[in-house]
Copies of this chain bind each other. A is one copy, B any other.
Amino acid sequence: MRNVCVVGVGMSKWGEVWRKSLRGLFVDAALEAVKNSGVDHLDSLYVGCMASGPFVSQEHLGALMADYLGMPGLPAMRVESACASGGMAFRLAFLEVAGGFSDIVMASGVEKMTDCSGDDATAALAMAADQEYEVFNGATFPGLYALMATAHMAKYGTTREMLSAIAVKNHKNGAKNPVAQYPFEITMEGVEKSVMIADPLHILDCSPITDGAAAVIVTTEEIAKKLGKPYIKVLGSGVGTDTIQLAQRADMTAIKAATIAAERAFKMAGKTIKDVQFAEVHDCFTIAELVVLESLGIYEKGKAGPAILAGETALDGKFPVNTSGGLKSKGHPVGATGVAQVVEVYKQLTGQAENGRQMPGSPKIGMTQNMGGSGASSVVHILEVT
């Protein structure tokens, strides 16, 4: 297996981007990644996207994006694993370079959600759940994550305040991220007084509907060195799955797919969670961030909430989480999110996080955790700067 590196990253502006179509968002991110890396060609392209069919009546994104990037002919395909599509695209780029099949591969993700051609964005997103047993009976994701929150509160005494603290912390970070959809701070009181979506989750517990794209250049260490740009190394990659239905799991207070994915990634990396100094995790809802921190072993079960309240996951805390602002503040164009997590870890590890968002202490190892649905699929990467 060859050493694999990330050598350049790009992101489009995230938000309600009316002036750009799906392909325009992708090209913005992709060209920035090409420019920042200094590569003169690509060998292959992976596009993570959850639901461009239901959202904007467009499938076949591999060929489409290769074409609009000005590279028709380029081997290209789309990868989908609901909201984990971006992380899966990054994994495939990693495998293709690590296995020696290609030298320079772009991993990208894109989603155009705000001009949905179907019923509405929530209906399109619900296609990540079990259509026949969950969606048919009226369950959508705010409801499913509300069930997890209620179960976690009942089992571990998790409080409203702990959930609010996650949203407040992520907006504080996101306020410093130039591409964030909601780059402003919010208050604990603001979260608690915001409109109720699915008890106990208020709207400020939920990540938004977003248009956006992200792209990274994945290559060998040899090429990364020659390019002379800052680069980071991919130490490990792991994927896990679980039952698609939340109701079929033995424990609703953990995301088993994330635990499995992390075990596999750490095994490949030859590292443990203790070697990692910060993480970008999948906070599609505030409760998701809390449950994932416990499922990854960063905190013991029931201990993440108090630690978050104590500020341990803040930008200057013991273990910063979602320094980008997370899905909550940065936005959540579902197929792009997993790639944007890699973008943030790249920036933090290479000291390029903007506007005072750089975490202190020159971190050496960071991780990403991206997931789909109510956690039926998850993908974890361990990344290091040398």
A235 adjacent to chain B (CB < 8 Å):
no
* A373 near B243: Cβ-Cβ < 8 Å: no
Give this chain's copy count.
2
Complex: how many Å from CA A76 to CA B244? 12
- Report, as a range, how many residues of chain A touch the other chain: 35 or more
A100 in complex: contacting residue of B1, B23, B58, B62, CB < 8 Å: B1
Pick out which of these stretches binds chain B: A77-85, A167-175, A197-205, A292-300.
Answer: A77-85
* B64 near A59: Cβ-Cβ < 8 Å: no
Complex: how many Å from CA A239 to CA B256? 35
Chain B residues with Cβ below 8 Å from A124 are 53
A280 adjacent to chain B (CB < 8 Å):
no
**Given A67-B243, A95-B96, A241-B72, A59–B77 Cβ distance below 8 Å?**
no
Pick out which of these stretches binds chain B: A128-136, A158-166, A340-348, A359-367.
Answer: A128-136
Complex: how many Å from CA A54 to CA B60? 13
In the assembled complex, the CB of A125 is this many whole angstroms from the nearest CB of chain B, namely 9
Chain B residues with Cβ below 8 Å from A260 are 73
Chain B residues with Cβ below 8 Å from A321 are none
In the assembled complex, the CB of A147 is this many whole angstroms from the nearest CB of chain B, namely 18
Known: A64-B130, A73-B257. 9 other contacts (CB 8 A): A56-B131, A63-B241, A63-B377, A66-B241, A67-B242, A73-B240, A77-B377, A95-B99, A95-B101
List residues of A whose CB falls within 8 A of some B CB: 1, 21, 23, 44, 50-51, 53-54, 56-64, 66-67, 72-82, 88, 92, 95-96, 98-101, 118, 123-124, 126-132, 135, 238-245, 256-257, 260, 264, 372-373, 376-377
